[in-house]
Each structure stands twice: as C-alpha cells, then as structure tokens.
Chains A and B, each alone.
Chain A
Amino acid sequence: MAEGKTESPGPKKRGPYISSVTSRSVNLMIRGVVLFFIGVFLALVLNLLQIQRNVTLFPPDVIASIFSSAWWVPPCCGTASAVIGLLYPCIDRHLGEPHKFKREWSSVMRCVAVFVGINHASAKVDFDNNIQLSLTLAALSIGLWWTFDRSRSGFGLGVGIAFLATLVTQLLVYNGVYQYTSPDFLYVRSWLPCIFFAGGITMGNIGRQLAMYECKVIAEKSHQE
C-alpha cells in the first residue's frame, strides 16, 4: 500500500526530539490513522473490483462514481481495520507472546498482495458453483494465515472477526442497506467470511509491523530515562 510504505518509519526517523514528544497515546493515534487510511484505500480498491463484476449492488446507480455510491463503506472499513490493526499487537502483548514470525515489511507486502489476490479471485474467476468458490477461498485464507501469521491468537482473532463481520453484513443486508446479487448463504455470499478472515489477518500483520516501531521507540525512551 502506498500509505503503508510512506508511513513505514525507519529506525532513525524518530530522532531524540521526536521521541521526546512521542508519548504512547500519540503513537497509538498515529498508528490508528495510518491503519485507517490503509483500510479506506483497500476498501475503495476492492469495492471497485466487486462493483465491476456486479457482485455487490448498492441502491443508487453505482457505476457512476465509486465515491458517491456508498460513502459509508470506506470509512467503516477504515475504522474496522484500525481497530483490528491495533487489537492484534495489543493481544500479543497481553498474551505475553510477542509475534516474531517474519517481522519484515517485505513479508507484510506479500501478505497484502495475496489478500488483494484473494479478492481478485473472488470477483473475477468464474467458478462452477459457490461451494467450490468458497472452499477455494477458505483454503487460500488459511494458507495466508499459515504463511504470514502462524500464531494462535491471530487465528482466533481472525475467526472472530470473520464471524462478527459476517453477522454485521447479514444484518445490513437484512435491513436492506445493500444486497448481493446471488446470495447463497442466508443473505450474503458464502465466501464473505473467508474474505473477512483474510482481511483480518492482513490488517493484523500491518498493525503488528507498525507496532514494532512503537515498541522500539518506547524502549528507547525508557532507556533514556
């Protein structure tokens, strides 16, 4: 993500004069904002992908503009991603098992690319039936988790997010906010939980990576004090 890249601070980015200003809450806020924008951006792009294939139907004439169609979608996704991205390192800290697996930006980028690829596949690849599509995407999502996360907390959180988000989507669709073209799982598509799961893993990955810098800054500060 463009935002992710520009916001990735090098270790030297926070000199002494910045770190003296940077309190913990400020840092939390910065991370939240970064995650929010990443989420908004991803939501816009992926939504576009879905709209192109007429997977999602929004009430007004959709194709006209991606921004005017459903203004509430990107902010919601952004907020959700910020929450998820902050939640992951927080849970890591509380569980006392710092996440050490592949803590590099290149790995995070790879993860994001695979996530977009899963979305791409869900929108563009023509499957015979929905079960097949859902199973494939589920396998891909689990593969994503195995490749980039491999932590139990990550898996649990991902499943929880997927469940919650699907529930929310069901409610939204039930209340007629928008709808899916060919619902096969109550009111939504059956691959939706997989997408949410993969999204949760991805945002958690980004959030952890961002949190690594915060940890370091705070560690630095505590050393200085």
Chain B
Amino acid sequence: MTLTERLREKISQAFYNHGLLCASYPIPIILFTGLCILACCCPLLKLPLPGTGPVEFTTPVKDYSPPPVASDHKPGEPSERPEWYVGAPVAYIQQIFVKSSVSPWHKNLLAVDVFRSPLSRAFQLVEEIRNHVLRDRKLRNLLPEHGCLLLSPGNFWQNDRERFHADPDIIGTIHQHEPKTLQTSATLKDLLFGVPGKYSGVSLYTRKRMVSYTITLVFQRYHAKFLGSLRARLMLLHPSPNCTLRAESLVHVHFKEEIGIAELIPLVTTYIILFAYIYFSTRKIDMVKSKWGLALAAVVTVLSSLLMSVGLCTLFGLTPTLNGGEIFPYLVVVIGLENVLVLTKSVVSTPVDLEVKLRIAQGLSSESWSIMKNMATELGIILIGYFTLVPAIQEFCLFAVVGLVSDFFLQMLFFTTVLSIDIRRMELADLNKRLPSEACLPPAKPVGRPARFERQLAVRPSTPHTITLQPSSFRNLRLPKRLRVIYFLARTRLAQRLIMAGTVVWIGILVYTDPAGLRTYLAAQVTEQSPLGEGALTPMPVPSGVLPASHPDPAFSIFPADAPKLSENQTLLGEPPEPGGPAEGAQDSPVPEVTWGPEDEELWRKLSFRHWPTLFSYYNITLAKRYISLLPVIPVTLRLNPREALEGRHPQDGRSAWPPRRPGLGGPWEAGPRAPGTAQAHGDVTLYKVAALGLAAGMVLVLLLLCLYRVLCPRNYGQPGSGPGRRRRGELPCDDYGYAPPETEIVPLVLRGHLMDIECLASDGMLLVSCCLAGHVCVWDAQTGDCLTRIPRPGQRRDSGVGSAFEAQESWERLSDSGKGGPEEPGDSPPLRHRPRGPPPPALFGDQPDLTCLIDTNFSAQPRLLEPAQPEPRHRAGCSRARDGPGYDFSRLVQRVYQEDGLAPGPAPALRPPSPGPGPPLTPEEDGVCPPEKGSPSLAWAPSADGSIWSLELQGSLIVVGRSSGRLEVWDAIEGTLRCSSEEVSSGITALVFLDKRIVAARLNGSLDFFSLETGTALSPLQFRGRSSSPASPVYSSSDTVTCRLTHTVPCAHQKPITALKAAAGRLVTGSQDHTLRVFRLEDSCCLFTLQGHSGAITTVYIDQTMVLASGGQDGAICLWDVLTGSRVSHMFAHRGDVTSLTCTTSCVISSGLDDLISIWDRSTGIKLYSIQQDLGCGASLGVISDNLLVTGGQGCVSFWDLNYGDLLQTVYLGKNSEAQPTRQILVLDNAAIVCNFGSELSLVYVPSVLEKLD
C-alpha cells in the first residue's frame, strides 16, 4: 500500500515538474516535438504509397528467363526482386511502334492524307508479322499456332484492307466507340492504337503530320529467338535511321488487387464510426480559448503518433504487412483521445487565479496517476494479445505498443504545450475583458502578472453582446421557420457557395470533356495518380470483330478473325519506302522529321495504367495480383511519298470539304464549309466558344443570384433606423445568426427617490422595498410604482446632530424632501408618534466604526461587484472585526463600505451623486402620491438602528432588516413603523430569510439565528389596497403586536462568515466562506448535511421547491446537490472567477460569473448549452420570467432571451439619456414586471407585448 502511494507521489511529482517545464518553454518544446515527429516519419518515405497502382520491376533482356514458380528467394535479400516476381507472367507484350509520315508534303494533299495511307500500311505490317512465322521454316514448327494476340489499328476494319479503302470516314470509324461521357479508363482507340490518343496523330488538325501507332503482340510464352528474328526483320524492312532506342530491358508490371465496393463498405463504416468518435470526443472540450484549436491538436497528436509508430516500425525492419487503411481506425480507437480530454479537463479545472505554469503542472499531476494506470492497463492488454501467437495479432500488438508509447510521448510534450499556450491566451483575453473594471485600481495593488498588465490596456471587447451557442445539434429550428431558413442561408452563405461550386464544376466538366487533349491528358494523369483508382471498370461496348474474338480458354488466338488470309499477301512485303518520288509539286513544307527519342522507349507509360487490365478484362482475364512483362518496343519508321498517299485516297475524300492544307496560313486551317463528318470531330473552337459562353452565363447567374440573395436576406434585416446616438450599429446586440431583433423603446416606470446607489431590493410581488447606500428604505407599490413609505436612514440625524460634514447631504435631502411638501420641515426633531424610544445616545457608537451609510448589497448575489470607480480600500482602525475572515470578498466588501463610510463624514461630499439631488427628477406622479403618506410616518421613527442595512426581506407587509450591528428589525411596510427588533448578538447580519413566520439571520461570525415571529392576535389576512395578496404571504395588520422571538441559535454553523442563505421546501441552506454548504431543517434548525465539494468560498446558493440545490463558489464551479440525500449530483466548471448568481428553471441552470458571462446549463446532464456575453458590469443582472424567458441587463437596456434556444428576442431600452448606466440588478415580479436597478433609480418594466405573443 505504501509502495503504491509512494509510487503515486513520485509520479505526481514527476508530472508536476514536467508540466512546469512544458509551460515554461512552449516554443522550444513544440519545435523539438515537431522534429521528433519528422524524424520518425522519415522512413515512411521509402514505403510505397498505398493503393492499387501497378508496381514495376525491370530485368535485362539478355539471358532472360521466366522466374521460377516456387519462391526460393530468401528474406535476406529483400531488394533483389519483389515478392510478386514469381512464376511466369500472365503475358508478354511486344509493341511494334510505328511512326509514319507522308513526305515530302505536297500542297495538293488533303488533311485526310496525313493518316489514310499511313494507316493502310498497318495492314501490310500485320501481314508481314504474321507471315514472319511462316517465312521462317525453322520457327514454324517451333511456334505454336495459338498463343499470341495481335492488335493493330487495322482491327477497326476487321483487318480487312478492302473495308479500309471503302471507308469514307476514317475518323468516324475510329471514334465511333468513344464514350461520350467522362471516361478515364482506356478507350478502344487507345487499346488498338497502343499509344495515348494525343500521340496518335490521327486527327484532322495535327500540325506534325506524323501518325504513330503500335501493333501490339501478346504472347503467352517467351520465345527469344522468334522475337529476335522478328525485330531484326522489321528493322531491316523499315529502318529507322536515327533511332537511338536501347532495347535492353524487360519491364514487369505487377497489378494489385482491385478493391470492390463490397470491400469498401466495412472500411467506410469503420471510418464513419471513427469520425463519430472523434466528433463526440472533441465536443467535450470546454472552457478553453480555442476549442477547435485544441481538438485539432488532439487529432494531430493521435495521427502523428500513428505515423511515428509506422515509421519506427519500418525503421526497425518491421514492414507492416497488414492493410494500413483497415487497421488504422481500430488503432485510433485503441489509443483514443481520452487522455487528451482528461488532461484538458484537469488543467481547466485548476484555480484560475494561479499562474499558467502552475495550473498546467497541477492539472498534470492530478491526473498523472490515472494516466499512468490506464497506460499500464493498455500495455498489459496488448502484451496478452502478443502472446496469442497469431502473427496478425502479434503484428497489430507490436504496432499498437509503439503507437501507444509515441502517443504518450506526444501527449506529454506536444499536447500539454499546446494546452499551456491556449490557457495563456485565454488568460490574456480574460484580462483584456476584465481590465476596465480593474484599471482604476492603484498600481500599488499587487497584480499577479504585472508584465502582461500593460498590454491589456489597449484592447477592449468591441461587441458587448455576443452569444455563443453550442454546436448545432443542440439547437433546433423553430418558428418562424421561414426566417430561420433565411438566417441559416445567410449565416452559411450557402447560396453563394453552392453557386460557385456549381460553376466551378460546370467549367471543369466543360474543359474536361474537351477532346482536344486536356481530357486524355488528365485521364492519364488522374488515373496514374489516384491511389485507389476507379472502383470498377465501366464496361465498354465492344463491337464484335473489332477486337479479336475471345476464346473461353485463357489461351490467346494467334490469328484472331481471318487467319486463313495470311498466305495471300506475301507479295506486299519488302517494299522499301522510296524517298523522293515524282516531284508533283513544290515542297512547300518542311519534311516532318520522324525522330526517335528516349521518350518513345517507354511510350506505354503514358497510357492509362488501366490500359492492360482493360485489355485483358475483355478476354476475361484478370491481372489482379499478377504481372505482365513488357518487351522493348520495336521501332518501325514508314515514309510514304505523296503518290502513295494519293493512291490510297478514298474517292469521297476528294469531294469532301477538307481543303488542302496550306501551312503558310499559319492559323488553324479548317476554315471553310464543313462536311457532316466534321460534326463528330469536335471542333476545338466551338468548344472554346461554348466554354466561354458557359463561363459568362455562369458568372451572370452568380451575379443574378447574388442580387437575389441580397434582396431576400439583407444583412440589416430588422434594424429600424431609429435611435441615433445611442449605440453604434456595430454594438447592437445580435445573436448567432447576426440577427439583431427589433429593439423597442418603452418608457419604464422610473422610481426615483433614492439619493445614492440602491443596493438591496426585495419584493413579494405586491410591494417593493429598496434600500440605498445612504440608508433610506423605500417601499413602492409594485403595480403602480407609487412610493408608499420612506424610511430614512436613522443615523443621519445623529450625524447631523453631531455636526459633521453631513450637512451637505442633509441639505440635499431637505431639498428633495422639500419638493414633496412642507411637513418634513421639522426634520431633525420628528414627532415620535409610534415609538416612545428616543434616539440612542451617541456614546453607543464610541467603539463602533462609523457605519452609517454602510449598506450591503445582497451578499449572496454580488460580493465583488464593485463600481468601476472604486478607489483603493482603506483600512480603518475600527474595522478589525470585519477583517478576521481572510476571504477576500467579504473583507473587501466590508472595507469598501467602511471606506465609503469613512469618506462620508470626511471632506468629500462630492462622492454623493449630485444628480438625483433636488426636486426636479421627481416625477409628478410621485409628487402626487407621496406627500400624504410622507407627511405622517416617514420621519417619525427614532434612529433605531445603529448600523447600516446589510440585508432586507419583505413578506406580507413586514420588512425584515438586518443591520451591520447585528440588530434585526421588523418594520411595517405600509405604515413605516418599527414593530419589533432584536439585538442580542452584535455580529452583523449578512443574510436573511423570511419564510412564513420564521426569520433566519446569518451573521458575520458564522452563527445562525432562528427567530419566530409571533403576533398578538391571530393573523388576519388584510386586503391590501383592494387587491388580495398572495396566499403565501400573510399580511399583518398594523394593530397586532408583533414580537420577534429568538428560538434557536446555531452558534458556529460555519467557521467563516456566511455568505449565502436560502430557504425553500422546509430546508435552509447556508453557504459560507469556509467552502462548505450546510443544510438545516427549518422547523427544528437541525443540521442535516454538510456539503463539501467546492474549492472556494460559496458565493451563491439556489434552492427551490423540488429540493434541487445549486451552489456556486469563488472557484467558478457550480455544484448541483440532492437535498434529500446530500449527494453531489453534478459539478460544472462554469466561470472564470466567481459565480455571482445562480438560478434554475425546470430544465436549466443559469449562472452568471465575474467574467460577465451568463451560462445556461442543462440541469440533468450538466452540459453547457450556451452562454451569453454580458455588458461590462452587468454580469449578475439576470432574471427568469418564465421557464423559457430570460431577462438580462445591459448598458441602459434589458434584453429578453428565449431560454430554450438562446435566441435574443428583444432588447428594451430604458430611458433616453445617451449614457445609460449598467443594469446591476434585476428582480422579476410575479406580474411579469421587471425591476431594474440603475444606480439610484429603479425602473419598472413590463414585459413587452411582443413577448407575450411569443409565449
């Protein structure tokens, strides 16, 4: 056990060091890894490319004998001869390459003459060859009658010279079997001519006036003597003077197995599965800067590790005999992307405020054990596989071991480094975004990375509202579908791309089908280079008689169709071409040179590599996995004189429209009327014209559709040209489709009356209670916006009585109050009607810090949401109590408030917001409503509180106020009277829960007080203002005496201050800075569970009636808990920085963080659905209206989102002023009104009618 632990520790330490190394020197390590990959892949260059391309092997002609059948070659001599070179080839192929030209050229000659008489010589040659067998007496009994196949262009005319002479349209005959469609395999013309189409010269428009073709002989057996004599005779008869061909090598061509569709299906399936696997794996990468970059890195890691393993295997002599393409998917699956994902997740989940180096190192070391364990397991499995002793499996295992090791190497070096770079980038971007709020901090504040800090100043995010969505699988098209489709088109630019692709393909086809040469060239190129080749040969209609008749047996017939004829034509032989001849005209053209170059030596290479398989397939012989031997070509040069050319002419040729060739004209010389025959000879120029026309038409079409597209879906769809000067166009909130929904401007009900920023808000649907920094509490009617009651800051009077610098503010208040009427004039000495208690003696505050305007926000929601203009917190001597918790946020908060407090009596009244001061901002209706109530009770209270308000709750008509002094007060909301109070403990109340008749107060020292509210008489539901209040909240009549009794105290619920407190379903949940949550039963205040799982202070808690508990902490994580069992259901790393608020609907969890992102999570799976980027400083302002409507605040506006789809539905601007304040808090009331908190104002917004329609 200890051994395991020690090992574990060592591994973890090693990984930690490695992570530090990787993050410290990313670039050198990446370079090094790249070099390693390249080095290991080097041996791959020697491997033949996979595919079905033929393989060649050359042996000298001299002393050639077919290789023995039995493979006697030893493994020691691998380079000597390939493995397939065993046994006799399928066939020997002897090509007799004929080049012929008519010379001297005469101007009377027609274009047809270029090839008519040269082609006619083919018959002559064929007979010559046939007779060669008979001529040589010695060979006659030596050679068998059958055993040789002879192909020549003459086969087009059934080897019948008469037919040839009677044929008026030679080109038509030749091309009659040409397929009209795209055809990359060998055509019949190629087969019979034996040369690629463009070399044959049988065309009306060639300039070289030289015809070349081959006569192909296919032997089953090799007869050196016969071939030698044939060669000698043909060379003798038709000497090629300047021939430099060296006929000394025999080329053997081996054809691979052809892959059929049936074989491909399983392969394709495995690849589909592989891609699905990769897709689903990379989808899980989250919380990084560039998700796709990391996914790419992961795939690169796996692929290059495979390549490395192949390379290493070949380096050490393990030539893979397995089909690489087949085992590859399984290898990827075996190696897997899991490690990479685990690494990413682990690194991402480290605390964000650490340095990148440390984060990488921590992430690595925390996962080191599982990585090593997995690797050991896999190696063990492979080892077991190795001992199955099956060669194929052994090879796979060996391969997989090398692959695993190289994959581990790459993960550790390559991927980790890429991850560190990514995290660093993310941190930079993050700093960029958050900088403006921190920029005002004095430089003395210790900043983690000061070097990087300056760089951030320049950049600011340009788009405040962007919504990032999950991949489309999470989204569904929804009504209105029409718009959706258009958005989709607009987003993907689908129309444009389709049109462009279509045009390109069309032009490509046009060019490709042009028979003038590109196609044949391409055909040869494509088929030579395509690794897999065409799947299957397209069957070509072969006319009977064109090819020599096939026999069912594989033996070839030597004289295919007309064997008996061969004896007649012996007289035609041996007529040597006579140069010169009668001079029938001026030689007006240069004599075409019949030259033989080295490129003619292996002309068959220019043929499609399917040439031979096609030829043999016509005889039902497959060349798959077999080889043929190509003998050196026999060059034959034919020179014809014009007289012969004229003699060979067909009578129709003269009448035909091919004019005599005039080379002097230079241009293409086909001008003039065309005969019907030319229609088949696809004219070049026509084709070009068509191509140009097509191109033009395509472009016009593109332009047309582009215009149509612009008309149909304009980019500025739905943007009314209103509101100049509020927001620039670019800043309009828009969703993923680039669609900015219609913005509306409604006049919200503005509730003014607070002098300073409003910090606490509470509502029960009917009433709205707000509390500002200055300590005022206002009660509003949530329906009408009337101010019902104002409870001023109690300490104010004291301060003014002391005569401090509060005079200024005092005067503001007086001014503002004076706008509402005179009754407040008594001001400093209010009539104490309801409470006999006088102002507490000032001595009470002697040791207390001056907390007069210390107002806390809702602690659970916004612990760190500082105003941008917050100066550096100053410590005061008196606030030592608040500093006992080292948790940063709370103490900072308190300090901030202290400091504010400290400023207040100081000489800085300028801090007071000057704008909401005197009367003018008050709306008339407020003026109309307020004074009657104002007059009586508002200032009637004694300064009953000796601390600022930290928390506020409202239920029925009772307001519960928790103060920093630890005092709990219950006020009557309507009348503004203090009903009861309790101040047993002097520790400040940080959070309050007021549920039914229970009040729970959480205090700064971590203790929890349970109060119960007892009324003197029975609760009598009171009709409030003619409307019935909600049944859950009893309304206490003012006549009752309310007493607040401390029922129970949990003295040390938490070690550190309680920051979050929520209650529902009979449970009370507290969250504290000590990283834990506690669940109490509300009735007997019994602690049920202590939930541990956060690695930072809890900042926010959510619980609802369905007993679902969600909590968010400073570690940026959200945990979902099951309140019944106390188990953690899921754990999501949600935000960079604190989670500031959290709420749930039935299907999602919505969280907001300090990174100003609102993230929506699937509640059951914990998968992030999407996130919304908020305005700066509006991060925490969100509210859920119904199950599918989300409200977020922005810069002077609120936006409505469809929760299910993440669509921005509408943006509502509040107010007209050009520089709007950010919405800091949103409170959703029952009647679908939204209360937004803009500084010192509240705005009451009713949900726009558009949304109601959508709902």
Contact = CB atoms under 8 A, between A and B. Distances in A.
A12 B390 contact: no
B390 A125 contact: yes
Contact of B333 (A12, A52, A114, A224): A114
A30 interface: no
A45 B266 contact: yes
B66 to A, nearest CB: 30
B273 A12 contact: no
A11 B1169 contact: yes
A12 B1205 contact: yes
Contacts of B274: 113
A22 to B, nearest CB: 14
Interface string B1168-1207: 0100000000000000000110000000000000001100
Contacts of B281: 106
Pick the most buried of B276, B392, B475: most chain A CB atoms within 10 A of its CB: B276
Contacts of B475: 10, 12
A17 B330 CA distance: 41
B270 interface: yes
Contacts of A124: 326
Nearest to B1146: A223
Contacts of A94: none
A117 B333 contact: yes
A109 B280 CA distance: 8
Interface string A4-43: 1100111111011000000000000000000000000100
B37 interface: no
Interface residues of B, number: 49
A11 B329 CA distance: 29
A120 interface: yes
Given A4-B276, A109-B276, A113-B330, A11 B474 contact: yes
B1165 A112 contact: no
Contacts of A105: 276, 280
B470 A106 contact: no
B263 A220 contact: no
A121 B1169 CA distance: 40
A113 B280 contact: no
B1041 interface: no
Contact of B474 (A5, A12, A133, A139): A12
A143 interface: yes
A106 B391 CA distance: 31
A223 B1105 CA distance: 11
Contacts of A125: 390, 392-393
Interface in A157-179: none
Contact of A10 (B270, B392, B470): B470
Interface in B48-105: none
Given A5-B276, A12-B1204, A48 B262 contact: yes
Nearest to B1165: A11
A12 B262 contact: no
Interface string B457-474: 000000000000010011
Interface in B273-314: 273-274, 276-277, 279-281, 283-284
B894 to A, nearest CB: 39
B1160 to A, nearest CB: 10
A129 B839 CA distance: 102
B194 to A, nearest CB: 35
Interface in A113-133: 113-114, 116-117, 120-121, 124-128, 132-133
Contact of A48 (B265, B284, B391, B1187): B265
Given A113-B333, A116-B269, A117-B333, A136 B284 contact: no
A118 B31 CA distance: 39
Nearest to A18: B476
Contacts of A223: 1106, 1146-1147
A49 interface: yes
Contact of A2 (B272, B1146, B1165, B1188): B272
B280 to A, nearest CB: 4
Contacts of A8: 473
Interface string B249-276: 0000000000000110110011011101
Contact of B262 (A52, A143, A212): A52
A216 interface: yes
Nearest to A215: B1164
Contacts of B270: 113, 116-117, 120
A116 B336 contact: no
B445 interface: no
B1162 interface: yes
A66 interface: yes
Nearest to A224: B1146
A97 interface: no
A143 B377 CA distance: 11
Interface string B320-335: 0000001001100100
A127 B277 contact: no
A13 B478 CA distance: 10
B476 A12 contact: yes
Contacts of B272: 1-2
A110 interface: yes
Contacts of A184: none
Given A10-B473, A10-B474, A112 B273 contact: yes
A117 B334 CA distance: 10
Nearest to A139: B384
A159 B299 CA distance: 36
B235 interface: no
B390 A116 contact: no
Contact of A110 (B269, B333, B390, B1146): B333
A219 interface: yes
Interface in B327-349: 329-330, 333, 336-337
B1147 A120 contact: no
B157 to A, nearest CB: 39
A36 to B, nearest CB: 17
Given A48-B265, A109-B273, A224-B1187, A120 B384 contact: no
A65 B272 CA distance: 23
Contacts of A108: 280
Nearest to B273: A113
Nearest to A14: B476
B1167 interface: yes
B1022 to A, nearest CB: 34
Nearest to B1204: A15
Interface string A134-163: 011001000100000000000000000000
A45 B263 CA distance: 10
B381 interface: yes
Given A49-B266, A117-B330, A220 B284 contact: no
B538 interface: no
B915 interface: no
A127 B330 contact: no
B388 interface: yes
Contacts of A106: 277, 280-281, 283-284, 337
Contact of B265 (A9, A15, A45, A216): A45
A128 B390 contact: yes
Contact of B1146 (A11, A126, A135, A220): A220
A19 to B, nearest CB: 9
20 contacts: A2-B272, A4-B276, A5-B276, A10-B476, A11-B1162, A11-B1169, A12-B1205, A13-B476, A16-B1187, A48-B266, A106-B337, A108-B280, A109-B276, A113-B273, A116-B266, A116-B269, A126-B390, A126-B392, A212-B1165, A216-B1164
Given A105-B280, A106-B283, A133-B390, 8 more contacts: A1-B276, A11-B1167, A48-B262, A48-B266, A106-B280, A106-B337, A113-B330, A224-B1146
A-B residue pairs, 9 tightest by C-beta: A106-B280, A109-B277, A223-B1146, A10-B474, A105-B280, A106-B281, A113-B333, A10-B473, A125-B392
Interface of A: 1-2, 4-5, 8-13, 15-16, 41, 44-46, 48-49, 52, 63, 66, 104-106, 108-110, 112-114, 116-117, 120-121, 124-128, 132-133, 135-136, 139, 143, 212, 215-216, 219-220, 223-224
